[in-house]
Each structure stands twice: as C-alpha cells, then as structure tokens.
Structure 1
C-alpha cells in the first residue's frame, strides 16, 4: 500500500473546457436524492455537479420536493416519484438516460427510499453492464450518505453493488460513522487508521473509497494506491459539505472523460476505472480549496455548503491559470 500526498499531478491534469463542446459533451448526471421534505441535499449535490462542469443534471427525488428544487435550480431537469409511482419503470427510464449517477444524499432510509435505491441498482445492472454500453457511456456510480446507510443494512443491495462494481466504477464516500456501519469496525478504529479502513474496504469490495475526514483518504479499487489530502479546510465542517463533494466528483469526472486528448497525461490511465479515481482525488482537492476560497468571503465560521459549491468553478479556473 502506497500513500501519495502530492496534489500537483492531479491539479496539472485539469483540462480546459473544449471550445467546440455542447451540453452533451459533458455528460448526463442523475441525482437520486432527497426524501419527502428533504430537498437541501439534492440541491447541493446537483449544484456542485453543475459548478464543476457537468453538462446536464437531473433530479430524481420525492414529488414533494418539486417546487423548491425547480425554484432553487431551474437549470436542472426534474422527475419526481411518490408512493404511487412504478419505481421499476422510473428507475429504468432514468438510468437509461444517465451516464453518471449520484445516489443517496438526503434520500432517507424509509421503505420507499430503500425501494427506489434497489430499483436503481437493478436498472443499472439491466442497462449499463454490457460491454457496448460501457464503451459508449463510460458510466460511474457514486454512492453517498443515506445510500451508504441503506447499503449497510440490506444484503440484497450489497449483492447488487458487488455485481455492478465488477464492471462499472463505483465510488463510496463514507464519514467515520458510515464506514463503521459498512465495515463493522468501531468509529475509533477508523479514526485511528483511516487509511487502513479505506484500503481494506476498497480491496474487499472492488470499489473506490473516499474516507472523509480532516485529511480525507482516497483508495483505488485495489486498496493498494491511496491519496491523502493534507489541505485542511475547517470551513467545510458544516452540514451539506458532503453533498457538495458528491456532486463535485460527478462534475469533475465528466470533465476528465470528455477531454480525450489529455487523458494520457492523467495520473491514471485512459480507462474509466482510473479516471474515476483521478476524479475522486481531484474533487477532494478542489472541494477543500473551495472551502478555503469561500472562507475568505464569508469568514471561516460563516461558510455555508452552497458557498463552497458556488466557489468550485472559481477554484478550477485558478488551477488552470
């Protein structure tokens, strides 16, 4: 196991936006987030995906969240569901549309939330896992927040995720309590050795782990290559910061994937498995810097998660200059 701390190879790999691009160039991000009355996490994740460069973002959320989300972020497409919706049909429709999925922010852990997540993973298995679709879409799945809480307690969802992760990159973003639920380790064990927790979980489950903390650890799918972000940003210790990170991962991934001319310069290689690791590392770095940037404007105690999200684009431009 090797742990890298030098951010420069990743920062130097950020591509400029292609001059002849359109919204299709930068992908379709589906944000499965927000249970009944919990629209904030969905908004922050979708906002961050747009602020980091995604071409088109769509909410898949409880119908009760329609008005507030369409008011807060009219640029995003919206689709709602409730207890009367055919969850199988709506999941299949939206997974067929998407090439990047964020599942979990503010989703809740109700029976309805469990069912929509289960149907989404089933739709991914049915729609994404053939070689031709993988070649065309280069899709990824980002599982965050309540998506992880549901995963930790539903064996069938664990089995579905294992099947997906064999073919498509999966990124999980636990904080120590969520990792405790997922791994069976105590919170203290995780705090004492977050690198080992991330490495073991990635190696055991063949997915990328972003072990969140003051020095976030990112493990690749083998558990052998790790990056530690030493750029601390206390302004991020606010509710909603994790939702912003999930959206940033999606948006940064769409930037890297679109710029095929620069992919050979990335720390990873040209396949989407390695691009998803590069996007994970870059997103953590950019997220931390955005927190610092926002703190200069609002004070380190006054930063809100949406301030961090709205700073992401400025930070990317600074890195490119």
Structure 2
C-alpha cells in the first residue's frame, strides 16, 4: 500500500478548457438528491458540479423541492418525482440521459428514497451491459451520504453495486460513521487507521473510496494506490461540505472525460510522465474521434486511462480543500458556508492549472 501526499503531480492532469467546446463536450451530470424538504444538499452538489466544469446538470429530486431549486440554480435542468409516480421508468429515462450520476446527498431513508435508489442502480446495471453505450458515455457513478446509508442496510443493493463496479468506475465518499455502517468495522477502528480501512474496502469491492476526514484519504480500486490530502481546511467543518465534494468530483471527471474523448493539447491523464498518451497509437472512428473501450478506464488496449476516475477523485479532494481555504480568506474561518466553498472551486482550478 503506497500513500502519496504530494498533490503537485496531479496539477498537471487538470486540462485546459477546450476552445471549441460546447455544453455537450463537458457531459451531463445527474444529481439524484434531496428528499421531501431537503433541497440544500441537491443544490450544493449541483452548484459544485457546475463550478468545477460540468456542461449540463440535472436535478432528480422530490417534487416538493422544485420551486426552491429552480430559483437557486435556474441553470440546472429539473425533474421531480412523487410517491405516485412510475419510479422504474423515471430511473431508466434519467440513467440513459446522464454521463455522470451522483446518488445520495440529502436523499433521506424513506421507502420512496430507497425505491428510487434501487431502481437507479438496476438501470445503471442494465445500461452498463451495453458496450456501445459505455464507449460513448465513459460513465461514472458517485455514491454519497444517504446513498451509502441506504446501501449499508441492503444486501441486494450491495450485490447490484458489485455488478456495476465490474463495468464502470464507482466512487464512494463515506465519512467514518458511514464507513462503519458499510464495512461493519467499529468507528474507533476506522479512526485509528482510515487509510487501511479505505484500502481494504476498495480492494474487496473494486471501487474508489474517498475516506473523508481532516486528512482525507483516496484509495484506487486495487487498494494499493492511495493519496492523503494533508491540507487541513477547518472551514469545511460545516453542513453541506460533503455535498460540495460530491459535485466537485463529478465536475472534475467531466473535464478529464472531455479531454480523453477529444485528446486535446495537454493529454495528461496519468500523473506519471512515462504513462502519458502517445496519440499515434490511439485508434479513431469514422468521424475522427478517438475510440474508448467499454470500461471508461482505457482508450484501446494499448493506451492506459485507468487513472481517470481516480485522478478526478484526488483532484476534487485537493481543490475542495483549497477552496475552503480561499473562502475562509473572504468570510473568515468560522463564517464560511458550503456554497462559499462551491463558488470558490473555479478560481482554485484556474490557479492550480497554471502552476
């Protein structure tokens, strides 16, 4: 288990925004979040997705949240659901629409929330069997907050997720108590060695784990490659900060995903210079676009993109912490709100990409 603490190599992998891009270039993020009366988490996650670079963001939330969310973030698309609706069809339609899915912020633990998450995971599993669709989308699933709490109580959902992780990258973002529910480990055991906990969970479940804390740990799906963010940002110890992080992960992934699809001028998806992409070896389709394989991790068999989702996770953690520091300079370390952190993300991305 190798734990990296130097963030500077990752700055190289922040791509420039493509000059000839449009909103489609930077993908569609679906935010499945917010139970009845819990619109804040959905708003913060969607806002952070936009502030980090996503092209189009859509709320999928309880219908009672419509007015406040469309007022707070009119740039986002909206679809609401209610107890009487067809949840199965709703999930299918929205999974097919999305490239990146965030599931869980403020979702609650009601039967309706459980049903919506269950049908969403079923739809993702079915959709992930379509190789052509996976090649086109290079999708990502991010499970956060109540998405993890619901998962921890349902063996059948865990089984659904294990099949999804075989096909597409999955990132989970537990804090220690959520990890305790997921893993069965005691809270004390997790706090004593969060890196080991993240590594073991990632390895056994084949997903990327972001173990949140004052020094957040990111483990790749093998459990062997880890990053520890040593920049402590006490301003983030506020409600909503985790929702901002989930959105930042999605937005950062859309940036890397756009770059991998376009193979733009920088081509820095892996932090090791020896693994950067040789364009001459990358196949193209009839339109001249570079061909990705069905996993979302690689371009052809010869060019490695295994770290795209992992890099997005690490970069989001770094940028999130830096944004908290920046927001504290403006509002004071005690006065920062989660939306202040979200609104600082874009400036941090620009400053880091220039280093």
The bucket for the TM-score relative to the shorter chain is over 0.9
- Maintained 8 Å contact 1:174/1:212: yes
- Maintained 8 Å contact 1:44/1:240: yes
Alignment of 1:38-187 (within 5 A): 38-187=38-187
Instruction: Select 2:319's aligned residue among 248, 261, 286.
Output: 286
Please name the residue that 2:340 is paired with: 307
- Maintained 8 Å contact 1:169/1:273: no
State yes or no: 1:235 paired with 2:235.
yes
- Maintained 8 Å contact 2:33/2:105: yes
Cα deviation for residue 147 of structure 1 reads: 0.1
Partner SS, residue 61 of structure 1? strand
Cα deviation for residue 130 of structure 1 reads: 2.2
- Maintained 8 Å contact 1:59/1:79: yes
Please name the residue that 2:244 is paired with: 244
Which stretch has the larger CA shift, 54-63 or 267-276? 267-276
Whichever structure has more helix as a proportion of its residues is 1
Counterpart CA distance in 1 for 2:188 and 2:72 is: 39
Please name the residue that 1:267 is paired with: 271
Please name the residue that 1:295 is paired with: 328
Paired residue total:
321
Cα deviation for residue 218 of structure 1 reads: 0.2
Please name the residue that 2:288 is paired with: none
Cα deviation for residue 24 of structure 1 reads: 0.1
If you compute each CA radius of gyration, which structure gives the higher value, 1 or 2? 2
Counterpart CA distance in 2 for 1:263 and 1:163 is: 31
Partner SS, residue 57 of structure 2? strand
Partner SS, residue 189 of structure 1? helix
Structure 1: gaps (5+ residues): none
Which stretch has the larger CA shift, 298-307 or 121-130? 121-130
Alignment of 1:29-44 (within 5 A): 29-44=29-44
Partner SS, residue 324 of structure 2? helix
- State the TM-score, normalized to the length of structure 1: 0.98
Counterpart CA distance in 2 for 1:274 and 1:189 is: 29
Counterpart CA distance in 2 for 1:288 and 1:144 is: 18
Counterpart CA distance in 2 for 1:235 and 1:312 is: 14
C-alpha RMSD over aligned residues: 1.1
Cα deviation for residue 128 of structure 1 reads: 2.7
Structure 2: gaps (5+ residues): 276-296, 299-304
Counterpart CA distance in 1 for 2:251 and 2:149 is: 24
State yes or no: 1:203 paired with 2:203.
yes
Cα deviation for residue 134 of structure 1 reads: 1.4
Partner SS, residue 171 of structure 1? strand
